[in-house]
Amino acid sequence: MNQDFLTPIKDSVVAHLVLQSPLCLGKKIKFHSAQEGFPDLENITIAIFGVQEDRNSENNFGCGDHLQFIRRKLYQLFPGNWDTEIADLGNVLKGNTVKDTYFAVREIISDLLKSNILPIIIGGGQDITYVNYRAYDTLEQTVNITTVDSRFDIGNLDDELTSQSYLSKIIMEQPNNLFNYCNVGYQTYFNPQEEIQLLESLNFDAYRLGRAKELENIEPAFRNADIVSIDIGAIRQSEAPANNNASPNGFYGEEICAISRYAGLSDKVSSFGIYEYNSKYDNNHQTANLIAQMIWYFIEGVNYRVKDYPFSGKENYQKFTVLLENDDPMVFYKSNKSGRWWMEINILSDNKYKRHALIPCTYNDYIEATKQNIPEKWYKAMKKMV
């Protein structure tokens, strides 16, 4: 991959690590330092890198600075019983223009995806989610995005690309490889009713904060995602103050860590980003500490992936068929490995949406179907595939 886009982590982080336990996570990570140079990526499963780009972050300038605070907190944590190989590639500095930064980030993510390495992106504005999405163009497949955010960040197509208008670009610009978008944790008073209705008309998914806090409701949203993007502003200000758009309401620390673990456990998730961290608002490095723990939980999830769908044959599932009132059968599958549920949409074998034919769901969706209540997510997926 092109190493020229990445600068080494700060010497102060390396010096801080020397003082830590030999058993800490930082001692097991291969990192890009001035002294050691760029790490060998052979056998690496996860690669962390920072983005120091804030110019298109709305009302949160300074996000992406001082990412060493996150690294210090992450490195001093102790790993679980993991066999996951991790590298820290350093940071992408601001380019001469924002587009230069975007180009560098896109190239890095694209190279990592082609090498089957899962990138964790930290820092920068959430507009980087658009760049992350565009990195999948080279894979020539449709993509699902799940964001954890109090706002939809749709904006208008004519708007400049920013952290609060990137979604319209993802939805409308060509090549359009988006199959499904899902928002987890939106707060109604931050979003115009027109935008809520637009997402509904596009058959996308959105979970209000209150419903999303019942975490079993949202696990399928992460199992169905290729890209997961978390805006620190979705977390309560008292838990994560390092964001100029922070709000009193949002997820608690333990909830966002559980969400990060869901994202890691998903066999489908192939990139993970945590954005809008602004160190100048961070009291006693509280948010840096929380982000470090979110990354820890994500890595924990990746380490315990069970590889059921789409890696297993159907012989590893229990099949349940529900006969609907119109005599159409509705088929559900339950994994023997994980106990997780999917529902099937019958489509032609040459349909370009074939990789989305099994939709993650919950046991409750199956129970509702037996009562002749077809899950809304089944309808939405069906409308997008036919």
308 belongs to a structural domain:
no
Do residues 202 and 270 both lie within one domain?
yes
Q: Is residue 255 part of a domain?
A: yes
Burial class (CB in 10 A: 0-12, 13-18, 19+), 260: buried
| Closest of 140, 142, 166, 136 to residue 153, by C-alpha | 166
What would the mean pLDDT of 152-164 be, rounded to a whole number? Answer: 90
Statement to judge: residues 139 and 162 lie in one domain? yes
**Could you say which of 271, 303, 335 is where a domain stops?**
303
Tens-place pLDDT, residues 298-309: 999 999 999 887
Between the ranges 267-271, 341-345, 381-385, where is the mean pLDDT highest?
A: 267-271
Angle subtended at Cα 233 by Cα 175 and Cα 62, rounded to the nearest 5 degrees: 85
**Total of domains in the chain:** 2
- Cα distances (angstroms) measured from residue 117 to each of 28, 234, 293: 17, 27, 21
Residues 209 and 281 in one domain: yes
What's the pLDDT band for 385 if we cut at 50, 70, 90? confident
* Residues 65 and 114 both lie in one domain: yes
Q: Given the structure tokens 């907190």, which residue do they identify?
A: 73
Same domain, 237 and 371: no
Is 371 part of any domain?
Answer: yes
Task: Quote the mean pLDDT of the chain.
Answer: 93
Q: Is 339 helix (H, G, I), strand (E, B) or coil?
A: coil
Q: Judge if 321 and 296 occupy the same domain.
A: no
pTM for this entry: 0.95
| Three-point CA angle 232, 236, 237, nearest 5° | 85
Q: Is the pLDDT of residue 352 over 70?
A: no
How high is the pLDDT of residue 157?
Answer: 79
pLDDT of residue 348: 57
For the cut 60, the answer to whether the pLDDT of residue 350 exceeds it is no
Of the three residues 284, 303, 322, the one that is the final residue of a domain is 303
For residues 355 and 328, state if they share a domain.
yes
CA 263/CA 267 separation, integer angstroms: 9
Flag whether pLDDT at 349 surpasses 90.
no
What's at 92, amino acid-wise? Answer: V
What distance in Å separates the CA atoms of residue 209 and residue 232, rounded to the nearest whole number? 14
Given the structure tokens 């509705």, which residue do they identify? 330
Quick check: is 186 in a domain? yes
Query: 257 with 153, same domain?
Result: yes
Strand 227-231, strand 317-323: pairing:
unpaired
Residue 334 burial (C-beta neighbours within 10 Å; 0-12, 13-18, 19+): middle
Q: Give the pLDDT score at 316.
A: 86
Structural contact between residues 79 and 120, judged by C-beta atoms closer than 8 angstroms: no
Any domain includes 309:
no
**Predicted pLDDT at 313:** 74
Highest mean pLDDT among 207-216, 317-326, 375-384: 207-216
Confidence check: pLDDT of 329 > 70: yes
Task: Give per-residue pLDDT as tens, 11-53.
Answer: 999 999 999 999 999 999 999 999 999 999 999 999 999 999 9
- Distance between CA atoms of 116 and 256, rounded to whole angstroms? 26
Task: Give pLDDT, residue 382.
Answer: 85
Query: For strand 341-344 and strand 329-335, is the pairing parallel, antiparallel, or unpaired?
Result: antiparallel
Q: Are residues 249 and 271 in the same domain?
A: yes
Last residue of one domain, picked from the residues 303, 329, 359: 303
The per-residue pLDDT for 386 is: 66
Residues 217 and 110 in one domain: yes
What CA–CA distance (Å, rounded) separates 34 from 26?
A: 16
Q: Single out the residue of 337, 332, 335 nearest to residue 319, CA to CA.
A: 332
Q: What is the CATH number of the domain that holds 80?
A: 3.40.800.10
pLDDT of residue 345: 85
Q: Are residues 266 and 335 in the same domain?
A: no
Question: Per the domain annotation, does 222 fall within a domain?
Answer: yes
Residue 218 lies in a domain: yes
Average pLDDT over residues 147-171: 93
- Comparing 376 with 385, the larger pLDDT belongs to 376
Give the number of C-alpha atoms closer than 13 A to the C-alpha of residue 64, restricted to the C-beta side.
Answer: 26
pLDDT at 346: 79
Look up residue 300 and give its two tokens. 């924990």
Q: Does the pLDDT at position 243 exceed 60?
A: yes
pLDDT confidence of residue 310: 61
| Domain of residue 150, residue span | 3-303
Per-residue pLDDT tens digits for 195-241: 999 999 999 999 999 999 999 999 999 999 999 999 999 999 999 99
Q: Is residue 203 part of a domain?
A: yes
Hey, CA dihedral for 76, 82, 87, 93, is it positive or negative?
negative
**381 pLDDT higher than 60:** yes
What is the Cα 22 distance to its own chain's centre? 30
Kindly state whether residues 132 and 271 are assigned to the same domain. Answer: yes
Per residue in 134-154, pLDDT (tens digit) is 999 988 888 999 999 999 999
Res 357: pLDDT = 82
257 pLDDT more than 80: yes
Average pLDDT over residues 178-205: 95
Cα(218)–Cα(72) distance, rounded to whole angstroms? 31
Q: Quote the strand ranges of the chain, DSSP E.
A: 30-31, 46-51, 86-92, 118-122, 143-148, 178-186, 205-208, 227-231, 271-275, 317-323, 329-335, 341-344, 358-361
